């Protein structure tokens, strides 16, 4: 099993450009999450999904959109990237709400 995978690993964008980060899991988990990790701030939840076709806002959703069209995939979109979105993005999944979350390797995004 690959677990949780993220594509791409690195990306550099210019302000105003758009992109989509892909998260895939092969563990048949219902719950999926997108976090951003910034120095001194820990991990903050951007959006999450409790099942195929559902999405919900987390702590810092502004500037991001998500979709969960298939159970195994959770996409994070930036419509118009800003330098404040420079961060490391982590995807995670879990079987149920209080279960252990399994994390992907992260995507390092730089917005110039």
Partner 1 sequence: AQRVTQPEKLLSVFKGAPVELKCNYSYSGSPELFWYVQYSRQRLQLLLRHISRESIKGFTADLNKGETSFHLKKPFAQEEDSAMYYCALWGAQKLVFGQGTRLTINP
Q: Hey, is 93 helix, strand or coil? A: strand
Is residue 103 part of the contact set for partner 1 (CB under 8 A)? yes
Quote the tokens at residue 54: 């559902």
Name the residue among 9, 12, 29 with its Cα closest to residue 74.
29
Burial group, residue 47, by CB count within 10 angstroms (0-12, 13-18, 19+): buried
In whole angstroms, the minimum distance from the beta carbon of 43 to partner 1 comes to 4
Q: Could you tell me which stretch among 8-16, 62-70, 79-87, 102-110 binds partner 1 (CB under 8 A)?
A: 102-110
Site string for partner 1, 31-60 (x = CB under 8 A): --x-x----xxxxxx--x-------x-xx-
Site residues (CB under 8 A) for partner 1?
Answer: 33, 35, 40-45, 48, 56, 58-59, 90, 92, 97-98, 100-106
């Amino acid at each position: 099993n690959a677990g949780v995978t993220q594509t791409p690993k690195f990306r550099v964008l210019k302000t105003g450009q758009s992109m989509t980060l892909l998260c895939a899991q092969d563990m048949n988990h219902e719950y999926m999450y997108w976090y951003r990790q910034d120095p001194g701030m820990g991990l903050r939840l951007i959006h999450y999904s409790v099942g195929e076709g559902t999405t919900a806002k987390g702590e810092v959703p502004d500037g991001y959109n998500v979709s969960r069209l298939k159970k195994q995939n959770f996409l994070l979109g930036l419509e118009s990237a800003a330098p404040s979105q420079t961060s490391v993005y982590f995807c995670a999944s879990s079987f149920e709400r209080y279960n252990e979350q399994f994390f992907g390797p992260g995507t390092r995004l730089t917005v110039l």
